[in-house]
Structure 1
Amino acid sequence: MRRLRAGELIGLRVVDRNGREAGSVQDIVVRHREGAYTVLGLVVGRSAIAGRFGYGDSLAPPTPWGHLLGWLRRHERYVEWKDVVALREDRVEIGVDHQSLPRRWRDDS
């Protein structure tokens, strides 16, 4: 698989195994352990404004903002890195149907 820098992935469109558009790469989920970074997956969708405010799955928003930020994240989906089958200059190809993608990422390790 072609190697890309993280910044090159952001904004690339994501295409599922059926050739359907799943959105674009909004964020990259990584784990830092023992001095090494491991890519866990990609957040895809229309925008990631709520995540850019710092309210991902690890930080709960203040009560008045919870519904608004949830609404802003309604199109976000998570692609596990193992489901990425190809990195092209203009797109990321995934080996699953985009409708089966979960809405949130989980680090179960």
Structure 2
Amino acid sequence: MKATDLLGAEAVDTGGCRLGTVHDIRLARPSPDAAWHIDAVVVGPSALAYRFGYADHDVSGPWLLAVVARWLVRRTRWIPWTQVVSLERRRLVVHAQGKDVSP
């Protein structure tokens, strides 16, 4: 699997409810000598805040852009890779909706 297979894919839960689009892939490794693996995917309705680099809440910048970016990422979900059921034809199926990325 390539990252391009995931990025931009539509995410749905097992009941068919649309969760959004995959905007980011979070990688992790248990130790410095271990291989990297997918830890989670970030799913939401809009990627605009990610494209401008305002998805993280600790990013500072013009206050208006920061406020708009926080509003755009309010329904963003962090879905652990362990909840992924399948990936087929740019459609990611997951067990549950995951947790909010926003505080």
TM-score normalised by length of structure 1: 0.75
8 A Cα contact 1:14 1:94, kept in partner? yes
Is 1:18 the equivalent of 2:15?
Answer: yes
Could you tell me how far apart the structure 1 residues matched to 2:28 and 2:53 are? 16
Partner of 1:43: 42
SS for the counterpart of 1:23 is: strand
**Farther off after superposition, 64-73 or 51-60:** 51-60
Is 1:30 the equivalent of 2:36?
Answer: no
Partner of 1:7: 4
Unaligned runs of 5+ in 1: none
Could you tell me how far apart the structure 2 residues matched to 1:59 and 1:51 are? 13
1:77 partner letter: R
Number of corresponding residues: 99
Aligned-residue Cα RMSD (Å) equals: 2.2
Partner of 1:53: 52
Runs ≥4 in structure 1, deviation > 6 angstroms?
none
Partner of 2:93: 93
Sequence identity (%): 31
1:37 partner letter: W
Q: What displacement does 1:92 show?
A: 0.7
Q: What displacement does 1:63 show?
A: 5.9
Change (3 A) 1:29 1:58: farther
Could you tell me how far apart the structure 2 residues matched to 1:85 and 1:61 are? 36
8 A Cα contact 2:23 2:50, kept in partner? no
Q: How does 1:70-85 map to 2 (within 5 A)?
A: 70-85=70-85
Q: What displacement does 1:66 show?
A: 2.5
